[in-house]
Amino acid sequence: MTLSGTASSELITDDWRIHGSVYTSADVFALEQRRLFHGPWLYVAHESELREPGDYKTTFAGTQPVIVTRGSDDGRIRVLLNRCRHRGAAVCHAESGNANYFRCPYHGWTYRNSGELRGITYDDAYPELDREALGLVALPRVASFAGFIFATFADAGPTLEDYLGNARSYLEIVAGQGEAGIRLTAGSHRLAYRGNWKLQVENTIDNYHFGFVHRSFLDVLADRIGAAPPIVQNIMNNPDWRTIDLGGGHSVHEFGDPHTGNNQGQLGDLPFNLIIFPNLCFVGAQVRHILPKAADRTEVRLYPIMHEGEPDEANAAILRVHESFYGPAGMGGADDIEVAFDRVSDGLGAVEHDWLIMSRGVHREQPGENGTLIGHAADEVPQRAFYRQWKRLMEDAA
Amino acid sequence: MSGENGSRRERGQARLELSSEFAAVSVEVDQQANGPRLRIENRQNRRVVYLDPLEVASLTWLTHERLGPFLDPSQTGWRSHDEGEDQA
């Protein structure tokens, strides 16, 4: 498949220049939906969001709206397309709820929360309808790892564990953050911007920007502690802070030991930032789910990670730290939206020389265990990890 | 057992309201009869059902699947030939 005459392979050069259309083209976006979001495993929920039979939440698999449900009688997790089989209305509207049956708001078609069509209003008008074939469409495979639920549109392919590969041990560490595990019961807050979804993925592990975009945050921090905060020095000079291409498009930035590291920046206590290809991230004290909407439109849902088995005061403190940097009135998130998303999207409007440079530190990437590549904390290792997999999938035969 | 809006609700009973994006009901214990009954009101159409303790106890044997016929709209509020039937 070509993109208006340009092959995907021509959009990323051997010396790591990325063509601007990767972020702006509707054709690229459409192909991403077929290759990146229709086959690979996609994150949909955490088990703590669906604890009781009948619990459900609404979210997206790529651009497709889905309902994640826990079966009323069998407790099984299913992922169903949120689209009435009659005239296409989204059957569920609430972000989350508990219901053993769903009733479409348009004409009242009613489904079990396992998907089967249970009934139709005034059904004598449909003497020949094959009701058994008209359940909500289920994604064929759903699996969970360390409490994180993923689904795929592919009938066959790698297991979730194989797909996660070297990222598994990091997900297990996230799952063990609390005394008795974690829960995403604080809900989410959302941000939206007019720009490409990959800008948020790339910005999740980009230590290079921190001292520039978040200068005002660092100044406030310096006033509080009476000295320059150590985070920028650590990024530039601490050999234990490192970025790693985990393979499969996944990447991580470790703040030292992945079990005990600390970002020393009052950003939340996760000992690393982690990207699970294509659109799930962990940063600070949050799960960050990035929802592509169009080439130039993105929604991001941020779920603070609560610690199970710890006092309310401890969890309240997690929320306050999270809000102080990432919240709507926080000192960091708004800067990222303005500079890393809005300003980049503005600049990409200049197309005379339409290339970005993603080669920082490529000469000093070192091979690690299990096929990983290890680089400097401020290098563009995570971005290249992402685009190696992006290129592989985009070039696959249709 | 079921009928239109019950008007003799005794005041002071605890009244519980449950709602989702699909339905809204109120539930309370009714003391107007010779024994207590559970009164359930569909707040969308004011339809009411009274259930005695044996009926409520028997409901605990239900699976959600067996409750399915009541969720089929053509078997309840949306039958084509029920004139005057309240909907919802």
Chain B residue numbers with beta carbons less than 8 Å from the beta carbon of A74 are none
Dig out the tokens for A244 from the structure: 């790693």
Q: How far apart are CA A33 and CA A340, in angstroms?
A: 23
Specify the DSSP class assigned to residue A138: B
Nearest to A245 by CA among A381, A104, A76, A109: A381
Specify the DSSP class assigned to residue A148: E
Predicted pLDDT at B62? 93
Predicted pLDDT at B84? 46
Substitution target from B71, B76, B83, B85 for chain A, most A beta carbons within 10 A: B71
- Is A57 in CB contact (< 8 Å) with chain B? no
- Give the sign of the dihedral formed by CA A381, CA A384, CA A390, CA A395: negative
Predicted pLDDT at B78? 87
Chain B residue numbers with beta carbons less than 8 Å from the beta carbon of A55 are none
Backbone Cα Rg of chain B: 14
* Structural domains in chain A, sorted by start: 42-160 (2.102.10.10), 184-395 (3.90.380.10)
Nearest residue of B to residue A53 by CA position? B64
Does residue A368 contact residue A245 with C-beta atoms inside 8 Å?
A: no
A271: which residues sit within 8 A by CB, 6+ positions away? A173, A254, A255, A256, A257, A258, A259, A260, A261, A262
Predicted pLDDT at A19? 97
Predicted pLDDT at B24? 97
pTM of the model: 0.92
Per-residue b or e along B28-62, where b marks 16 or more CB atoms closer than 10 Å to that residue's CB: bebeeeeeebbbbbbeeeebbbbbeeeeeeeeeee
- Is A131 in CB contact (< 8 Å) with chain B? no
Q: How far apart are CA A30 and CA A80, in angstroms?
A: 22
In the predicted model, residues of chain A with pLDDT beneath 70 are 1-9, 265, 397-398
Block means of pLDDT (10 residues each) for chain B, 88 residues, are 47 82 96 94 95 94 93 88 56
Predicted pLDDT at A1? 44
